[in-house]
Structure 1
Amino acid sequence: MKEQGKIFLGFAVFILAMAITYGIWTSKSDIGFEAAGTTALVLAFGLCAMIGYYLAFTARRVDSGAGDNPEAEVADDAGELGFFAPHSWQPLALAIGGALAFCGVIFGWWLLWWSLPIILIGLYGWVFEFYRGEDQNQ
């Protein structure tokens, strides 16, 4: 994780340098300052910086993996990677609610009255999936 954090932070620095260069370059052109591209690059910088910070922060709290060892083999990273839910219907509810919400942008905002409850039910069910029923932890 340490290496991944360094990669993302380095990529964030590169994108910031490109955003500054792009902003200066377009402000000196004949068409004037181009705000959309500069804004997109600044937002991409922010996203890479957040991911890089998260990975660097998390790397301090977990054991170093095979990706941090330059002499590691591919087989050194084999084994259990974590716990993943074997089955869940909640992502389907979120997908249907999200599709309805995006259709609401196209057809009319009234469609959000039907999409938001579906999204909230799916999100609530997904968050509390392992706190009720047969999957409840003792």
Structure 2
Amino acid sequence: MKEQGKIFLGLSVFVLAMAITYGLWTNNAGGPGLEAAGTTALFLAFGLCAFIGYYLAFTARRVDSGAGDNPEAEVADDAGELGFFAPHSWQPLSLALGGALAFLGVIFGWWLMFWAAPIILIGIFGWVFEFYRGENQNQ
């Protein structure tokens, strides 16, 4: 994780330099002024890279070093259990249908949100409490 944090922090410095360069370049290009959309997007990308880099660097201090932090490590050194993942779930389908209806509501009319919101809420509720009820319930 230490290396990943360094990569993201380095990327954030690069994106910051490019945001400043882009902002100055578009401001002096003889146009009407600063090109706001691209400059804003680059500064937001800088913020996202900095947040991720800081999180990874902060977390790396609290966890053991992994195989990715050892330059002598082999690929097999990182093998093993990665965590628990749901074997199957219908909840993402519910969220996708509700999200699709919500985006269609933006196009065709906000009244469609009355149908989308309950579907989205059912999907979120089902996904959060998936392992507290039914056949996947933990004993």
Scaled to the shorter chain, the TM-score interval is over 0.9
* Structure 2 counterpart of 1:89: 90
Structure 2 spans left out of the alignment, 5+ residues: none
Instruction: Output the CA distance in 2 between the equivalents of 1:74 and 1:80.
Output: 14
Q: Per-residue displacement from partner, 1:55-106 (whole Å, max 9, x unpaired)?
A: 2222222221110101000111111111111111111111111111111111
Runs of 4+ aligned residues of structure 1 deviating over 3 Å after TM superposition are none
Shift of 1:54: 1.9
1:3-53 superposed Cα distances (whole Å, 9 cap, x missing partner):
111111111111111111111111111112100000110111111112212
- Scaled by the length of structure 2, what TM-score is found? 0.92
Moved more, 77-86 or 57-66: 57-66
RMSD over aligned Cα atoms: 1.3
CA distance in 1 between counterparts of 2:61 and 2:138 reads: 28
1: CA distance between counterparts of 2:96 and 2:34?
38
CA distance in 1, matches of 2:11, 2:52: 11
| Letter of the 1:104 counterpart | G
**2:3 corresponds to:** 3
Which secondary structure does the structure 1 equivalent of 2:117 belong to?
helix
Unaligned 5+ residue runs, structure 1? none
1:79 is aligned to 2:80? yes
For 2:24, the equivalent position in structure 1 comes to 24
Cα distance in 2 between the residues matched to 1:28 and 1:86: 56
Question: What is the DSSP-based 3-state SS (H/G/I as helix, E as strand, rest coil) of the residue aligned with 2:14?
Answer: helix
Percent sequence identity over aligned pairs: 84
The one-letter code sitting in structure 2 at the alignment partner of 1:56 is A
1:80-119 correspondence to structure 2 within 5 Å: 80-119=81-120
Equivalents in 2 of 1:121, 1:60: separation in Å? 38
Count of equivalent residues: 138
Q: TM-score, normalised by structure 1?
A: 0.93
Q: What letter corresponds to residue 74 of structure 2 in structure 1? A: E
In the other structure, the counterpart of 1:12 is 12
